[in-house]
Amino acid sequence: MNGPGRQDPPARQGWVDWLEQRVNLSEIFSFLTHFGLVYTPVDTRKPVREVLHDVAAEPVPRYAHGARALGLLAAILFGLQIVTGVLLAYYYRPTPEAAFESTRTIVRDLPGGWFIHQMHAWGSWLLVAVIVLRLLRLFWEGLYRAPREVLWWCAVAMTWVVIQSDFTGRLLTWDSHTYWGTVRGLEVVWAIPIAGPVLAFLLGGRTVNEDVLIRFYVLHLMVLPVFYAGFLYLTFATLRRVGLSRPEAARDQGTIHYREHVYSMTMLTVGLFAVLVTLATLLPFRFHAAADPYATPGGVRPPWYMLAPYALLQHLPVPAWLSGLGLLAAAIAVLLLPLWLRGDDTPGRRRRLRLAGVAVLAVWLALSVLGALLERR
Amino acid sequence: MPIPEERPIRLPAPAPPDRRRFLTVLSQAFLALWGLGAAAVVGAYLKAPEKRDAERTVNAGLLADYRVGEGRLVRHGITPFYVVRLDATRVLALSAVCTHVRCILGYDPARRTLVCPCHDGRFDLSGNVLSGPPSRPLPGYPVSVRAGEIFVQV
Amino acid sequence: MRTALALLFLAATAATARAQTGTPAPPAGPAAVAAASGRCGVCHPAERVQFEKSRHVPEGVRCVSCHGGDDHSLDTAIAHGPGYRGRPARRDIPKLCASCHADEAQMRPYGLPVDQYALYQISGHGRRLAHGDDQAAVCSDCHGAHEILAPRDPASSTYALNVPQTCGRCHGNTALMRVRGRADVVRTYQSSVHARALTGKGNLRAPTCVSCHGAHGAAPPALGSADKVCGQCHTVERRYYAAGGHAGGSSGRPGDPHPECVTCHEAHGVQPARPERLGTSCVMCHEGDSHRLDLGRRIWNGYRTATGEADKAAALVAKADAIPIPTEDYHARIEEAHTYLREALSAAHSVQPEVVAGFTTRARAVGEEVQKELQGKLANLRQHRYVLIAFWFYVLLTLFVLKRFRDQATRNR
């Protein structure tokens, strides 16, 4: 690089080579590719320096822009949630007596505790929004069509896991509003036939007591993140097979080297972090009071993503089991979308499908608003 | 077919290596500040507070500062308490919050009773209700005297 | 030999009993001879059951102690024979009970008082009885006739919780009371805060009928001394009242009684003190007296502003708790302010604005102090926003640096 004969100081190169002779560093690096940091596969037979060089020079479509960044954002937010979540878990205690107190100690007494707590709270909100938007985007662009069905299934599964994480995470503060919101949410879950009771059985039953809290704690910290990581892995395995995006789109937007993509991702991370910090500072989540199982505060609603089923189940003049069955059917239809929405990808058909999607979304939003307003009474 | 003239690609002149390296190092140091900031926040957060039990143990002053028979009000959040020195070695601590409607009690050293200014409830130094509307006795707090200092566990 | 004679005797009396009354006599046996009731319970089972629950039984009092007669015989002629007093007339009951209960020698081993009869004779009940009103209460009306229990026994009719019911047997009977010109006070009492403390919260030290009226010397507290009765428990209020302008007939107007506790607070149906009364009570008597009304207004205004400040401080503390920032000290100071406010209400009985102001100004000062400090803390938190602006400068700079690195990578491509 700088001329013949001149070599980099041996000390710097030394320890990498020393390790290289003892363990396959490329294989360790390839572990990262599975979970999406580098989405292309890596030849683990080459030494790690060569592997890094190849990866950096890999041509990729411009992926960290616009709507395509949603998947990246979901992954980044997940990482952020893990970091802040682990920090919170250092001081949080999952018993009804100590949950609220320990959370309040974190926020009030520990230096930086309020920051980490608000980042985690807003992070979860953004994660849910990003994951849902990603699903909507996949539908809009028709990216569930063959051979990308698995991508759609993973997206639906990840949406489900993230919503469950949000639901389980809410209860952990044992705040009076979130406690009763969880109770309302569980009512919705119970009302769905077949799947509901099974889910409620896994979640721990009808009354929200200390066993349910521990169960939610375990789900939130261990089970659901593992599932999420699993689906993330599957997503990238699919992408390695079917490609990051449609070939024609890649040609339109040009390719860049992976090295530039890394910088774009870093900028995205920094921007996201800044947005989260702003939200955490300007709009912090407030505390109410410790949950009292015998006193319900007024105006408690189930979490916002459950408002539509709540309105459907509780307030529409349809018997509960029927609307529950309808919801179940709708959920299964969404999951199996790629299988029944086959056909040519003509512009006319695409427009019709998009219109149908917008209509369904509008109905969902209307039901959510209805659910929100009804509780204000 | 005419061969299009190949125009030479003109790259901007690279900056001299020293300045480039200096800028690179500066930029990397700047970015490293993020890492430092994160480490500082996380480090401060993770430093386990020793306050757990310490917060509940209140230092009520030196034993020598209390005359025998003197009772002093120690304001401590929502659990203010009286420290009363009974004799040369014995000290006790009682809640200063009346069990009737939570008025702050006063101490009568002549009678060694705690008197509520609101409705004239009276308690003895064991916390028993002597007269007045309070229906529950006054809780006491464990006291220990270490190295001449009085510590009360609320 | 003796057993045979006894059995023969028993059989004979059983046979006679059957022959005389015409009903089959219950099987007689050794168990039928009870210690206290003797054989009386054979014909009077209900009274026997009641009597054997009573406090008299372990002390050797028997049926014959009050009723006379012979309790060893099942033969009515003998059982109700000479010495038999039968059911005592109502007007004789007090004297009958007093025959033991007014005798110090007999009562001393139990530590029981012996003044009940003397008190009864000067009581309202006793005087009416002496004047010929046979319906006036006598000992058995309150204590029961046979099932007399100690007042500390929760099943006793004289147990604190049961006293209103016991007195209410007559004083809650509207017809009975109207004839005697008495209002139905029992229902009024049941709605009072005293009754709620007694029966609702189980506070045995809450006043029952006997707390104010006395038990054996029961009589309404005379006008001019009613405040002394209330003042037995409400000592603080009475102290202020006695030192103030309302005590001792200082109205100056002839024939005008000075106000007592019951003038502003009810007697039987007394309700929890409402501070708003400070603003509305004075005009009830002092209409047209601008000077005194002004005194009342000053008291009320002072209390109202102090409460306002304390409430605003409490609201700020609640807001701070939601953030949350440490507020335990502030909670304590709010309690302190509330202490002063409660003292102010007691001091209001002196109807002297300066005395009340001593407390209300202190409460107000604490409230204002807490507000100022908390608002300072909240303002400090708002300064986080300026840090945010600096942070955004840093973020934009970082993005710029990263973009430079990326462009460099693009150029190198």
Alpha helices for C102-180 (secondary structure H): 104-107, 116-122, 124-130, 139-143, 163-171, 174-179
Neighbouring CB atoms inside 10 A of B122's CB total 19
C234-293 pLDDT tens trace: 889 889 998 888 877 544 454 566 788 888 888 888 888 888 888 888 888 888 888 888
Residue A215's pLDDT band (boundaries 50, 70, 90)?
A: very high
Sort out which chain A residues have CB atoms less than 8 A from C410's CB and list them.
256-257, 260
Cα–Cα separations (whole angstroms), residue C333 to A197, B72, B77, C329, C339: 50, 17, 8, 6, 10
User: pTM for the complete prediction?
Assistant: 0.72
| B14 domain-assigned | no
| B46 domain-assigned | no
Sort out which chain A residues have CB atoms less than 8 A from C387's CB and list them.
281
The three-point CA angle C225-C227-C228 to 5° equals 70
Strand arrangement, sheet containing B149-153: B57-62, B149-153, B143-146
Does A111 lie at the interface with B, CB-CB under 8 angstroms?
yes
Q: What is the pLDDT of residue A65?
A: 75
Global ipTM? 0.83
Q: Which domains does chain A have, with CATH numbers?
A: 66-284+299-374 (1.20.810.10)
CA–CA dist A326, A332 (Å, integer): 10
Q: Do A109 and B49 touch (CB under 8 A)?
A: yes
| C133 domain-assigned | yes
Task: Reply yes or no on whether the pLDDT at B52 is more than 60.
Answer: no
Sort out which chain A residues have CB atoms less than 8 A from C390's CB and list them.
none
Examine the domain organization and report whether C368 and C392 are in the same domain. no
Which helix (H) or strand (E) segment holds residue C26: the answer is: none
- The whole domain housing B76 covers 56-153
Q: Do B118 and C236 touch (CB under 8 A)?
A: yes
β-pairing, B140-141 vs B71-74, is: unpaired
Does B42 lie at the interface with A, CB-CB under 8 angstroms?
yes
Does C382 lie at the interface with A, CB-CB under 8 angstroms?
no
Q: From the list B34, B44, B51, which residue is nearest A111 (CB)? A: B44
- Amino acid identity of residue A367, one-letter, is L
A329-347 pLDDT tens trace: 888 999 998 888 877 778 8
Q: What is the pLDDT of residue C142?
A: 92
Neighbouring CB atoms inside 10 A of A267's CB total 19
Task: Reply yes or no on whether the pLDDT at A255 is more than 90.
Answer: no
Looking at chain C, which residue has its C-alpha nearest residue A57?
C413
Examine the domain organization and report whether C191 and C165 are in the same domain. yes
- Min Cα distance C53 → chain B (Å) is 31
Percentage of chain A exceeding pLDDT 90:
33
CA–CA dist C93, C125 (Å, integer): 13
C40-56 pLDDT tens trace: 888 889 988 999 889 89
- The whole domain housing C404 covers 384-413
A269-300 pLDDT tens trace: 999 999 999 999 889 888 888 888 888 887 78
CA–CA dist A145, A149 (Å, integer): 6
| B70 domain-assigned | yes
Examine the domain organization and report whether C198 and C299 are in the same domain. no
C105-125 pLDDT tens trace: 999 999 999 999 999 999 989
Q: Do B76 and C332 touch (CB under 8 A)?
A: yes
For chain B, helix, strand, coil in percent to 5 are 25, 30, 45
Q: List the 249-288 stretch of C: residues with Cβ below 8 A of A.
A: none
The 8-class DSSP code of residue B74 comes to E
Residue A61, classed as helix, strand or coil, is strand
Check residues B140 and C18 and name the one with the higher pLDDT: B140
CA–CA dist C207, C326 (Å, integer): 42
Looking at chain A, which residue has its C-alpha nearest residue C321?
A287
Q: What is the pLDDT of residue B55?
A: 65
Examine the domain organization and report whether C373 and C410 are in the same domain. no
Q: In sequence order, what are the beta bridge partners of A204?
A: none
| B132 domain-assigned | yes
Examine the domain organization and report whether C125 and C164 are in the same domain. yes
Q: List own/partner pairs for C53-57 with CB under 8 A and 24 or more apart.
A: C53/C147, C53/C149, C54/C144, C54/C146, C54/C147, C54/C148, C54/C149, C55/C148, C55/C149, C55/C150, C55/C153, C56/C148
Q: Do B78 and C411 touch (CB under 8 A)?
A: no
Domain stop point among C172, C204, C220: C220
Looking at chain B, which residue has its C-alpha nearest residue A117?
B45
Task: Reply yes or no on whether the pLDDT at A247 is more than 80.
Answer: no
- Are the C-beta atoms of B120 and B132 separated by less than 8 Å? yes
Q: Do C411 and B102 touch (CB under 8 A)?
A: no
Domain stop point among C173, C193, C220: C220
Torsion of CA A204, A206, A210, A215, to 10 degrees: 20
The 8-class DSSP code of residue A74 comes to H
Q: What is the pLDDT of residue C25?
A: 44
Residue C31's pLDDT band (boundaries 50, 70, 90)?
A: very low
Burial of C77 (0-12, 13-18, 19+ CB in 10 A): exposed
We report the CATH number of the domain holding residue B68 as 2.102.10.10
Q: Do B44 and A87 touch (CB under 8 A)?
A: no
Which helix (H) or strand (E) segment holds residue C37: the answer is: none
Mean of pLDDT values over A157-177: 93
Sort out which chain A residues have CB atoms less than 8 A from B44's CB and list them.
111-112
Sort out which chain A residues have CB atoms less than 8 A from B47's CB and list them.
111
Q: How many CA atoms lie within 13 A of B7 on its CB side?
A: 3
Name the domain count of chain C.
3
| B140 domain-assigned | yes
Examine the domain organization and report whether C204 and C155 are in the same domain. yes
Mean pLDDT, rounded, of chain C: 84
C166-223 pLDDT tens trace: 999 988 888 888 887 777 788 889 999 999 989 888 888 889 998 888 889 888 777 6
Examine the domain organization and report whether C110 and C201 are in the same domain. yes
Of A113-117, A341-345, C4-8, C162-166, which range is least confident?
C4-8
Examine the domain organization and report whether C327 and C411 are in the same domain. no
Task: Reply yes or no on whether the pLDDT at A11 is more than 80.
Answer: no
The three-point CA angle C369-C374-C376 to 5° equals 100
Check residues A311 and A67 and name the one with the higher pLDDT: A311
| B93 domain-assigned | yes
Q: From the list C203, C205, C339, which residue is nearest B117 (CB)? A: C339
Of B88-92, C130-134, C340-344, C381-385, which range is least confident?
C381-385
| C201 domain-assigned | yes
- Are the C-beta atoms of B97 and C336 separated by less than 8 Å? no
Q: Helix axis angle, A195-203 relative to A320-335, nearest 10°?
A: 90
Q: Do C332 and B77 touch (CB under 8 A)?
A: yes
Residue A357, classed as helix, strand or coil, is helix
Sort out which chain B residues have CB atoms less than 8 A from C346's CB and list them.
118-119
CA–CA dist C15, C79 (Å, integer): 16
Q: Do A264 and C388 touch (CB under 8 A)?
A: no
Mean of pLDDT values over B90-118: 91
- Amino acid identity of residue C138, one-letter, is V
Name the domain count of chain B.
1
CA–CA dist A333, A327 (Å, integer): 10
Sort out which chain A residues have CB atoms less than 8 A from C388's CB and list them.
277-278, 281-282
Does C413 lie at the interface with A, CB-CB under 8 angstroms?
yes
Q: What is the pLDDT of residue C249?
A: 55
Does A85 lie at the interface with B, CB-CB under 8 angstroms?
no
CA–CA dist C343, C335 (Å, integer): 12
Residue to substitute from C385, C395, C397, interface A, most A β-carbons within 10 A: C395
| C180 domain-assigned | yes
Looking at chain C, which residue has its C-alpha nearest residue A277?
C388
Q: What is the pLDDT of residue B9?
A: 58
